[in-house]
Amino acid sequence: MLDLTPIERIRREMPATTSRIYLNTGTFGPLPVSAIQAMQQQAQDELQAGRLGMAFFERMHAAQQAARQAVARLLRAREDEIALTGSTGDGLNIISYGLNWQPGDEIITTNHEHFSLLAPLSQLRERYGVVIRVADLGPNAERPAHEAVAEQITSRTRLIAISHVTWTTGVQLNIGEVGALGRERGILVLIDGAQSAGAIPVDAHALGIDFYATPGQKWLCGPDGTGALYACRDALNRITSTYVGYSSVEDPHSEEWKLAENARRFEAGGRHTAAIVAQAAALNWLEETVGYQWIFERIADLNTYAFNTLQSVPGLRLLTPTPAGSGLLTFILDGRNPDEVVKYLSEQHNIFIRTIPEMNSMRVSTGFYNTTEEIDTLARALSAYQGEH
């Protein structure tokens, strides 16, 4: 039997990382074998035995509970503070539409937010006359978030909605200080955790925020169509569920209408059980086999290595201000078209990164499964592109 190193064992469990240089976890993470096996087994069981009787419902509920518990451990929260969703955007919409908005009410966001957050805010503006105030973090998100947000607060501010890690340049915003600002002023704080959950340590209670939306398919390497929403127990009754169903209430068979007294009130109905099983399997594999602390340290180390290594490429200019440890690194090649560079890397070198159209730039995601050799290969390929064009 081969004596594999830890990283070799991890990469063997994630076949997509061995067939290409996979530097785009910030969009979709590579799936581990355990997640696919769990999904296949669930689908096979449903095919053979059907979805019948109380035994099936009990297994379905157990799968959902396992996924909530795994997310709760990741975010250092309680299970009853976790609702399962279909995506980060799902969670952001749930909270955005949960307030009783009045014309002139204000939301504060920043100039480095993803469309998944901006979309519901824009819709609120169109539908209810809500005012969106934009905190300017600077061109590369280098300015402290709490300072920029504080400048925008007025007596009409009802929600602060920002990212933990900016999708544009990978900067970790000082969310703990933003959370403190919200508590001090009585303003709800909603965090887009799309680029943070699974990439950096997150302690929802310590951050002091009210809501934290996460995906399953990025840094947590689960199937698409999965995600979660952390809802602080103290903030539950300040949000009204926009859509409700079987899962939202304490007892769907009771004549008394009573929403669940925990975050489950934000779960309207059934989800794809095979995907939920795979979500839990991926989270458990990350936690128990790989180890979150090792994951966070390796992502940060590779992020720093990429930050230093890519500076050797002629004409390359980093937009990420410092190695933030988030795993995201954004850069431009002076005078080069990002789409053409990304296409060249994939077709000529089997390297996969992505563009950030809003910044006319390119972004690299250094996952825990990547290696320094892969980053070196990326640097050589970019240098070759400069020489050939």
CATH topology of domain 41-287: Aspartate Aminotransferase; domain 2 (3.40.640)
Higher pLDDT among residues 33 and 249, named by residue: 33
**For the chain, which residues make up each domain, given as ranges?**
6-30+291-388, 41-287
CA distance 182 to 164: 15
6-30+291-388 and 41-287 in the same fold: no
Dump pLDDT digits (tens) for 111-142: 999 999 999 999 999 999 999 999 999 999 99
- The whole-number pLDDT of residue 2 equals 55
Per-residue tokens: 267: 């779960």
Among 121-130, 254-263, 308-317, the range scoring the smallest mean pLDDT is 254-263
Which CATH code for domain 6-30+291-388?
3.90.1150.10
DSSP assignment letter at 266: G
Beta strand extents in 18-78 (DSSP E only): 21-22
Q: How far separated are the first and last CA of the chain, in Å rounded?
A: 46
The mean pLDDT value of the chain amounts to: 96
CA distance 112 to 148: 12
Per-residue tokens: 170: 């990978």
